[in-house]
Amino acid sequence: MIRALSFCILLSSYTAAQLSLPDPPFLPPNASAGTVPSNSSARSPNAQWSTLLGDLLYFYDAQRSGDLPDTNRVDWRNDSALDDGDDVEIDLTGGYYDAGDYIKASFPLSFSLMSICWGALDFGRGYELANQTAYLDGMLRWGLDWLIKAHASDDTLYVLVGDADTDNAYWGGDENIPTPRLSYQVNASHPGTDAFAGASAAFSACSSLYANRTFGSTGPLSLHNSTYSKTLLSHATQLYDVAVHASGGQQVYQESVPEVADAYGSSSYEDELTIAALFLSWAKDDDSLFDEAEDYYDEFSLSDDLRGVFNWDSKAAGLPILFAQVSNATGHGDATYWQGQAENLLDGIIDNDNGATLTGGGLLYYDGDSDSCSLNPALNAAMLLTKYAPLTSDDQRQKYTEYSDKQLNYTLGDNPMSVPYVIGINPNAPQNPHSALASGGTDIGRIDDSPEKEAYILYGALVGGPDKSDKFFDVRRDWPQTEVALDYNAPLLTLAAYHVLTDEDDPFYVTLEEGAANAHRPKGAPCDAAIDDGCNLPGMSRRGIIAMAVCVGVTGLVVLALFATWFYLAWTR
Ligand SMILES: *[C@@H]1O[C@H](CO)[C@@H](O)[C@H](O)[C@H]1NC(C)=O
Ligand SMILES: *[C@@H]1O[C@H](CO)[C@@H](O)[C@H](O)[C@H]1NC(C)=O
Ligand SMILES: *[C@@H]1O[C@H](CO)[C@@H](O)[C@H](O)[C@H]1NC(C)=O
Ligand SMILES: *[C@@H]1O[C@H](CO)[C@@H](O)[C@H](O)[C@H]1NC(C)=O
Ligand SMILES: *[C@@H]1O[C@H](CO)[C@@H](O)[C@H](O)[C@H]1NC(C)=O
Ligand SMILES: *[C@@H]1O[C@H](CO)[C@@H](O)[C@H](O)[C@H]1NC(C)=O
Ligand SMILES: *[C@@H]1O[C@H](CO)[C@@H](O)[C@H](O)[C@H]1NC(C)=O
Ligand SMILES: *[C@@H]1O[C@H](CO)[C@@H](O)[C@H](O)[C@H]1NC(C)=O
Ligand SMILES: *[C@@H]1O[C@H](CO)[C@@H](O)[C@H](O)[C@H]1NC(C)=O
């Protein structure tokens, strides 16, 4: 009797752990719905932007690992990887598969969670207006609750489950994922300063969100939960502490866990340490942590790094924006100085003075970083511009939001291919995402045509994107162009929430003619790190580089090496 009762209590507290979900649930409409203009007399919020936001969140449901809840909306997904953590005798089930494969990686996950929570601190009311707050809550908790498990003791953080090599040799569904899946950790004697600090920043940013400690008054009102916020803050505090004080010193995490290097090796830890201090200062309303973050910024000369991309590996470009926001909101620090730093950075992006150029079609392109996921750096830049815009003068604001909208429009179909790069939102969207989950195939040698048509539509997934000449081939094996990933969707969520909040016009793709993408289909074949058929250089052997993780530092080096070889051959012919 008593057992039954406490079981009930447990069960009800478990089910109450989330906001109640809409009934009936939100499900992505089919692609043809993305051609129907929304009712012009009822456009606030705009139904198409609301649907896009819903689809983008739905992608994360499709990426879930572990024991799926009764409320699972993705009917073709199964419980999976239920033994994760067995090798180290803890429960590491749950969380998300990071991309088109089946590894679970804390470092890029932390970045995605930080980015999404930060975006909701700015424009969270967009989720509210679109009736998506409960799904945002579910999405965040599925990641954060796993990261809590991965933070197995004060100074232990699991950074990888599954092995990139084994995983890359597997192409198939979620019922036969190869085992054993090993679990790799960093700890006090074998630290990963970036991994500790990155996870701390995610916990702090999300703790602030659940505390309703938003920037401006646009946070998601119903997400407020001080219990959960406090839990997240305690993890943030412990992880920051071990990032600073680990007995093994400070170093990038692949020094301790070389197995992460292929997929998600990190180029430095100074940017994570700084953003962790800054987000923690915001979460705790602690001026001395803000000062600490400023000290790091100077000590590590991070203003020198402002010319690079903002992504899962490099956070420096986000710092002036966040410093300006926190300084503005708290009155602490020199808000004018930080605005100057932020505007230097953002003007540099707009003036092509920060290491990037525009493609012929108008996509912001960073050689190297953009080569294996062209949309991600551009969308992260657009996100920073949009975030910062409320803090500046009317003129600057207009300049920043217009530039951001151009990058967003490009992503949503205003490009030479007439392809909106989000799966399932329009008939012109890509049909062949590189996703072992969605493909339905089991033959790694025939990724492209077995089966002929991808088995499941991976609604809401942004793909890597076109090449530097704006060409997109929609080939499944071509991971630089068609892979999907947790961090790809993150900036787009923030931008979509902003547009739900502010934009009465439909997203660009609604105007695309059905068949437009077919009419603009490029000739030839890709020339990138996965497929070189289009490179037209004799003497090159075909390389079947399949499904390395995504757009990552070390893969980036492989790409550079390949290009170097091609150029060399081209010269010496
Ligand atoms: C707040 O979060 C806690 C911890 O996850 C959960 O137990 C509780 O049910 C939540 N409360 C509400 C009102 O959602
Ligand atoms: C898409 O949805 C519309 C409206 O619900 C329906 O009329 C149409 O048949 C659907 N198309 C496909 C291909 O399922
Ligand atoms: C469009 O919105 C107006 C105002 O809400 C409503 O009266 C009208 O019925 C809607 N039209 C359609 C076709 O849904
Ligand atoms: C949100 O839910 C309310 C109440 O059910 C409904 O009236 C409204 O149309 C929904 N908005 C969107 C964008 O789905
Ligand atoms: C989930 O299981 C069903 C039934 O066995 C199977 O048809 C489906 O392909 C599985 N899903 C994935 C993603 O493998
Ligand atoms: C600390 O992490 C290193 C690197 O992952 C690992 O080899 C070592 O066993 C860990 N230490 C403990 C006490 O688990
Ligand atoms: C959250 O903060 C906003 C102001 O930013 C306020 O309007 C709202 O009432 C707060 N919500 C809760 C649940 O505390
Ligand atoms: C914060 O930004 C707003 C909008 O630009 C401005 O009005 C306000 O003065 C700023 N506050 C501080 C402390 O800088
Ligand atoms: C983006 O596309 C929308 C919808 O077509 C359009 O109204 C807007 O002017 C475009 N913005 C820019 C900056 O091109």
Q: Please indicate whether residue 443 is annotated as part of the active site.
A: no
Q: What is the pLDDT of residues 461-486, one digit of tens each?
A: 999 999 999 999 999 999 999 999 99
The per-residue pLDDT for range 37-84, each reduced to its tens digit, is 999 888 889 999 999 999 999 999 999 999 999 999 999 999 999 999
**pLDDT tens digits, one per residue of 89-126:** 999 999 999 999 999 999 999 999 999 999 999 999 99
Residues 6+ apart with CB under 8 A from 226: 210, 211
> pLDDT tens digit string along 338-362?
999 999 999 999 998 878 999 999 9
What is the distance in A from the centroid of ligand 4 to the CA of 130?
A: 7
pLDDT digits (tens, 9 = 90+) for 259-276: 999 889 999 999 999 999
Atom of ligand 7 nearest to the CA of 217: 5
The Cα 263–Cα 379 span in angstroms is 21
Q: Cβ(45) to ligand 4 under 6 A?
A: yes
The phi, psi pair for 464, rounded to 5°, reads: -55, -50
Distance in Å, CA 30 to ligand 9 centroid: 23
pLDDT at 538: 52
At 551, the pLDDT band (50, 70, 90 cuts) reads low
Burial of 291 (0-12, 13-18, 19+ CB in 10 A): middle
Q: How confident is the model at residue 537 (pLDDT cuts 50, 70, 90)?
A: low
Is 474 a catalytic site residue? yes
Following DSSP, what letter does each residue of 138-202 receive, concatenated?
HHHHHHHHHHHHHS-BTTBEEEEES-HHHHHT--S-TTS--S---EEEE-SSS--HHHHHHHHHH
Under 8 Å between Cβ of 288 and 282 = no
**Does residue 25 have a cis peptide bond before it, meaning omega lies within 30 degrees of 0?**
no
* d(CA 487, ligand 6 centre) in Å: 28
pLDDT at 235: 98
Structure-block tokens of residue 541: 């052997």
| Interval 493-511 mean pLDDT | 97
Q: For tokens 């070390």, what's the residue?
A: 554
Residue 36 Cβ < 6 Å to ligand 2 = no
Atom 10 in ligand 7: residue holding the nearest Cα = 221
- Any idea what the Cα angle at residue 195 is, between residues 258 and 61, rounded to 5°? 100
Mean of the per-residue pLDDT values for the chain?
91
| Ligand 7 atom closest to 219 (CA) | 5
User: In 331-426, which residue ranges form alpha helices assigned H by DSSP?
Assistant: 335-350, 375-388, 394-411
Mean pLDDT of 294-322: 93
* Residue tagged active-site, from 98, 122, 474, 478: 474
Is the full-model pTM beyond 0.85? yes
Q: What pLDDT was estimated at residue 218? A: 77
| DSSP string computed for 213-225 | --STT-S-GGG--
Is residue 243 within 8 Å of 256, Cβ to Cβ?
Answer: no
